[in-house]
Structures are given as structure tokens and as C-alpha cells.
Amino acid sequence: MLKHDYMQVSQDQPIYCEAPLQLLLFVDGRPKSRQQLQRIRAYLKELEAEYSFELQIIDVGQQPYLAEHFKLIATPALIKIHPEPRQILVGSNIVAQLQNCWPRWQAAVDTYLKLQEDLQERIDDNARATSPKSTIGSVAVSAELIRLSDEIFRLKQEKENLLEQLQFKDRVIAILAHDLRNPLTAAAIAIETLQSNYNLETGEFLRLKPSMTAHLLKQAHNQTKIIERMIADLLEVGCSKDTELPILPQKIELGKLCLDILEELCDRYTAKSQEVETDIPKDLPYVYADPERIRQVLVNLLDNAIKYTPKGGKISITGLHRTTQKIQFSIGDTGPGIPVENRHRIFENHFRLQRDEGTEGYGIGLCLCQRIIRAHYGQIWVDSAPNNGAWFHFTLPVYPS
């Protein structure tokens, strides 16, 4: 409710004012406003001794919707709300303005009272009761309506966000169930083959050469790592994008890490007869980064390159000592590339190109890559390749020597 100094008002009842002259004084808590406020209140106190009026003092910090209702741009501010027309005094010389306006305000009140007497003879009580009046009570109602309108708008936005999250959750569950089937099936086949050929008595694998046994074990391991990565990605993207991503940086050799991941993914690009070309300088400096997080970036980018590069295509990986503080790592492919109009959105959470709607994945990999690289104070971006494919680049800090 409105706050004032001259009468007690219930917190849950509207204010009905009887004084013909009604004023609102908007104040704030700034120390530099106190002296001016004291002068205004002292002058109003002098005027009150000679002329009856109602004054209510409003703290804009506690009643921001009233300040919005009157479109105030500064405080202190003194507003005459009754009788009409409304008048606002604001600035550093409110007392001087009030001295000039006060005779006109008194004349306006006298005119208003005379009109009320004339109207009382012609208009019945019911019509008069329903006529609109600009009172302090109506101002409070207007402010409350503004507040409720803002609250409704906020709730609508919150509802839309929740519906979007629910739709995404349903889509992710459906796609995840589909995506998990392939690595689960591959891991299960490898394990079942090993199990069916294992002799408990001798502790040896029957009918399997050591090289095949090692291959099946590696296959099962790689597929479980893929499943683990998919689940980890979902858990990561479940965090708010505004939440800082925790990292544990250390000295790592980025080129070796990339080659290790390529070995893990060998079966995939070999099955598509894809050529992998690496240009990683032997003297590429160590980087200061979280190895597990950077592994996520490399796996995501290489996974996309393999997925979108056609059979017989080419995947390129290069390293560059860009500056004394940064190295640049790039992964290119000969796939369809990224349209120019979508490059600024490709790293958005859940964003997928229209052409990808029928493919595996749920549009969170590149968003995670961006969050991880930014957490290392690096940059990540995409360019077109000369062969119409895509080049993804990212930078990382050099390990201080």
C-alpha cells in the first residue's frame, strides 16, 4: 500500500480520500536527496497550516510500480493528482516550483468544489458514485494492475520455457534410446563372442586368435566409452548454460591425445573408407587444459566429421602454434558443410540443421564444445572448407614454460 506520514492506512484495504487537493511525494533513499526532501516537507508543513490537503509519501524502492504508473524519470517528485489536470513537479527546485503553482492549485480546488455543488443538484448519488475519479485509491489500483500484468507476462515466459524443456526432454529420450542401441548391440556381440569361446577350465579362448580376442576386447571397451560419453553429454547439457563449467587444467600434449582418440575411432572411419590426414607439428607446445574436457571436444568434433563425411571422403586434423600464448587446433571434413546463415547458431543448445532431423544425435555436442573451450578462455568457430566441407577451429592456452 501507499506510505504516508499523516494518516494510518490498513495494509489490505483501499484508500478513499476526502480532501479535494491530493498530492503524492515520491522519494528515494539516496543521501544526496535528504536535504531537498527535508525542504519540501518543511514547506508543505507550512502550507498545511493554512490550507487542507492530503499528502502521501511513496518510497520508489518499495513501490516501483507507482513510479512506472506515473512514468517518473527522477526523484524526488511531487504530483498533484486531484483535482485534474495532473501536474508533476520534479528537479532540484521543487519548492520554488511549488511556490509558483500553489495559488493556481488553490484556485483549481475552489473551482472544483463549486462545480461539485452545482453537479450535486443535477446528478443523483448513484451516477456520481460510478463516475471515474483520479484518487489516490485509484492510483493504488492502477499500480497493482501494472504489477499483476508484469507477473502474468513473467509466468507466461516461464511456462513457454518449461514447455520447451519438456518437449526437448521427450525428443532426447526418444533419440537417446535409438542412439544407444547401436553401441549397446556392438558391445554385447563382442562380449558374447568372447564369453562363448572362453574355456573356464583352461582359462583360454577357443577358436579365437589372440589378435581377434584383443580386437573384440577393444571393441567392447570402445563401445562402452561411447555410451559413457553420450550419458555424460546429457548430464552436462542438463546444467544451466549460465553455470560455470568446472575444469581441472594441467599440462597435456594435445597432438598425442588426438591420435589416441583417432585410434579409438578407427573402426568407424575405416568402415566408411575415409582418409584421415594429420598435420600436427612435433614441436607443438603443451597446452594448459583439462584433459577429460578436451577429450570431449575432440571426440565430438571427430565424431561429427566421421558422421557427415561421405564414404571415401577425407578428414583433416591440423595443429598450429598461433601465438606465444595460444595454439589453434582444427578439424576439417569433406561433408556438406555448414550454411553461412546458420554458423552463428550452430553452437546453440539443441540447435540442429534441418538436414539433420533424420540423423542420429540430439543437438548438444557443439554447445558442450563451446562451453568447454570458453571455460579455458579459448574460442571455437566454424569455416567453410575449399571442398565445400566444414572446418572447426578452437584455441587453447599454451602451458607456461
Residues 214 and 270 in one domain: no
Residues 176 and 102 in one domain: no
Span between the terminal Cα atoms of the chain, in Å = 65
- Tell which of 67, 101, 134 closes a domain: 134
Residue 235 pLDDT exceeds 70: no
Alpha-carbon gap, residue 283 to 254, rounded angstroms: 11
pLDDT band at 398 (very low <50, low <70, confident <90, very high): very high
Q: What's the domain count of the chain?
A: 3
Give the three cell numbers for residue 28. Answer: 528515494
> Which position has the higher pLDDT, 234 or 226?
226
Q: Residue 362: count other Cβ atoms within 10 Å of its Cβ.
A: 20
Q: Give percent of the chain above pLDDT 70.
A: 76
**Average pLDDT value for residue range 204-228:** 82
> Which position has the higher pLDDT, 385 or 92?
92
Give the three cell numbers for residue 36. Answer: 531537498
Strand runs labelled E in 313-369: 314-320, 326-332
**Average pLDDT value for residue range 302-308:** 90
Task: Kindly report the average pLDDT of the chain as a whole number.
Answer: 78
Decide if 105 contacts 20 (C-beta within 8 A). no
pLDDT band at 64 (very low <50, low <70, confident <90, very high): confident
Residues 105 and 162 in one domain: no
Q: Residue 193: count other Cβ atoms within 10 Å of its Cβ.
A: 18
- Answer whether residue 243 is part of any domain: no
- Answer whether residue 288 is part of any domain: yes
Residue 220 pLDDT exceeds 50: yes
Alpha-carbon gap, residue 336 to 334, rounded angstroms: 7
Give the three cell numbers for residue 139. Answer: 492510483
> Global pTM?
0.48
pLDDT of residue 11: 36
Q: Give percent of the chain above pLDDT 90.
A: 20
Residue 345 pLDDT exceeds 50: yes
- Tell which of 189, 214, 237 closes a domain: 237
CATH at residue 322: 3.30.565.10
- Tell which of 105, 134, 163 closes a domain: 134
pLDDT digits (tens, 9 = 90+) for 146-186: 677 777 878 888 888 788 777 766 666 665 665 677 678 88
pLDDT of residue 4: 40
Decide if 376 contacts 252 (C-beta within 8 A). no
CATH at residue 90: 3.40.30.10
Residues 213 and 327 in one domain: no
pLDDT band at 349 (very low <50, low <70, confident <90, very high): low
Residues 228 and 360 in one domain: no
Residues 217 and 257 in one domain: no
Residue 137 pLDDT exceeds 70: no
Residues 203 and 284 in one domain: no
Burial class (CB in 10 A: 0-12, 13-18, 19+), 180: middle
Decide if 76 contacts 23 (C-beta within 8 A). no
pLDDT digits (tens, 9 = 90+) for 83-133: 888 888 988 888 889 888 888 888 888 887 777 777 766 665 555 445 455
pLDDT of residue 107: 84
Question: What 3-state DSSP class applies to 362?
Answer: coil
pLDDT of residue 9: 33
pLDDT of residue 53: 86
CATH at residue 215: 1.10.287.130
What is the domain range of residue 390? 250-397
Residues 226 and 346 in one domain: no
pLDDT digits (tens, 9 = 90+) for 279-292: 999 999 999 999 98
pLDDT of residue 134: 54
- Answer whether residue 53 is part of any domain: yes
